Amino acid sequence: MHPTTSGTRAERAVQALTGGRSLDVLLAAVAVVATVAGRLSEGPSPAGAGPATVVPGLLLAVVVGGSLAWRRTAPLASYAVGTAALVVESLALGPSPVSPYANLVGVVSLGWFGSARRALWGPPFALVGIAAWFASPQLPAVVPVTVVLVWLASWALAYQVARRREAEARDRATRQREAVRDERTRIARELHDVVGHALSLMLVQVGAARTVLDERPAAARDLLLATERTGAETMAELDRVLGLLREDVGSDTGPVAGGPVDDGPGLADLDGLVARFGDAGLQVRLDRGPGVRAHYSTSTDLAVYRVVQEALTNALRHGRAATARVSLRCRDGELLVEVVDDGTGPAPGWEPGRGLLGVRERTGLLGGGVEHGAAPGGGFRLAVHLPVGAPS
């Protein structure tokens, strides 16, 4: 629980001591007036004290109370100065009836505002100040245990609340770093999907055009036109992704890792994707089973598109496949996506690359799973299952 919403009376009392700079100055001013008034009042004083002690007493009272003005910006120095003034005042002029209360506020402020290492000086300083105050011959020689317990308990309560707040701040910083790391992963995955797949497809198309340029110029022209279309579509999608990145940078809340990517390709664009691979020489059959909707959530639609894109790119570029089959099925509240090609299949000792790792990350964020490996009849098989709900 954050200290500002604590339900305990003790934490609420400590919270009252943690206002802004203006409150610190006001608190110091009140403390100065109170300590000066306490010094001027009739109270215990050493034998023989006379008018010559009035000015030093007033100055020390001002230091004791005024030190609280820096309780937030320099809590250790503020408490050390206030305690030193209290010690001198008590031993030289006699204990003031008000100065200990200013010292109590100081030790609480040290526990609340001080760093973990510096705040540990609070108890030793507090014990010195208490011992000096009770060192007067007119007071009991033994420091009352209850006073020590009150000072130490007040410091410990503030210290505990402050350390909890610091721990929460560290947790928030850790979460922000993780969000940035996850967002970088998402950016890398999107750029890989947009640029990497398109370049692979365009290289295949240009290579095929080069091989038939002399003998079949019309076919070469068609391949180059297909390459031009692929490039134009890739540029449009790249503009979309970069636009999203600019929105993330300019937002107040920052990027949300794994969040939906608006206006991206989805199930409705699979026919165009299949056609582009057909232009490159990979004959793809798209099979939508019964119950498969034309649209799911934006994140699910994009994930399906990227899975099919990754599988077909690998089939064409690495597997040297001639045909592939894309199947979409619904079963038990899940959308099943399977891509099987007739290529060479995985080589011995094969390890998944960046693209398949990106597929696993993308589907994992949506609560799905991935299977990939050699197809039963040869070639390569990539299968993904994603939980689906009502159309968005």
The answer, yes or no, to whether residue 122 has pLDDT greater than 50, is: yes
CA gap 97, 138 in Å, rounded = 13
Q: Do 10 and 76 fall into the same domain?
A: yes
Q: Is residue 157 part of a domain?
A: no
Token pair in block for residue 146? 């209850």
CA gap 110, 382 in Å, rounded = 61
Backbone angles phi, psi at 286, to 5 degrees: -100, 120
- What CATH number corresponds to the domain at position 272? 3.30.565.10
Q: What is the mean pLDDT of the chain?
A: 77
Q: Do 194 and 332 fall into the same domain?
A: yes
Q: How confident is the model at residue 46 (pLDDT cuts 50, 70, 90)?
A: very low
**98, 116, 143: which is the final residue of a domain?**
143
pLDDT tens digits, residue range 153-169? 888 888 888 888 888 88
Pick 219 or 3 by higher pLDDT.
219
Average pLDDT over residues 260-285: 81
Q: Do 334 and 236 fall into the same domain?
A: yes
Q: Is residue 114 part of a domain?
A: yes
**99, 117, 143: which is the final residue of a domain?**
143
Q: Is residue 149 part of a domain?
A: no
- Structural domain that includes position 26: 3-143
So what's the pLDDT on residue 104?
85
Q: Do 298 and 219 fall into the same domain?
A: yes
Q: Is residue 331 part of a domain?
A: yes
The answer, yes or no, to whether residue 47 has pLDDT greater than 60, is: no
Q: Do 84 and 185 fall into the same domain?
A: no
Q: Do 136 and 187 fall into the same domain?
A: no
Average pLDDT over residues 324-349: 91
The answer, yes or no, to whether residue 98 has pLDDT greater than 90, is: no
Share of the chain above pLDDT 70, in %: 78
> How many domains are contained in the chain?
2
Q: How confident is the model at residue 340 (pLDDT cuts 50, 70, 90)?
A: very high
Nearest Cα residue to 279 out of 215, 220, 213: 220
Q: Do 261 and 372 fall into the same domain?
A: yes
Average pLDDT over residues 293-308: 88
Q: Do 129 and 204 fall into the same domain?
A: no
So what's the pLDDT on residue 42?
47
Pick 169 or 35 by higher pLDDT.
169
Q: Do 222 and 82 fall into the same domain?
A: no
Q: Do 289 and 223 fall into the same domain?
A: yes
Token pair in block for residue 322? 């001639």
CA distances from 392 to 196, 294, 296, 298, 385 (A): 29, 11, 6, 8, 19
Q: Do 298 and 253 fall into the same domain?
A: yes
E strand or H helix at 368, and its extent?
none
Q: Do 138 and 197 fall into the same domain?
A: no
Average pLDDT over residues 281-291: 91
Q: How confident is the model at residue 382 (pLDDT cuts 50, 70, 90)?
A: very high
Q: Is residue 167 part of a domain?
A: no
So what's the pLDDT on residue 251?
46
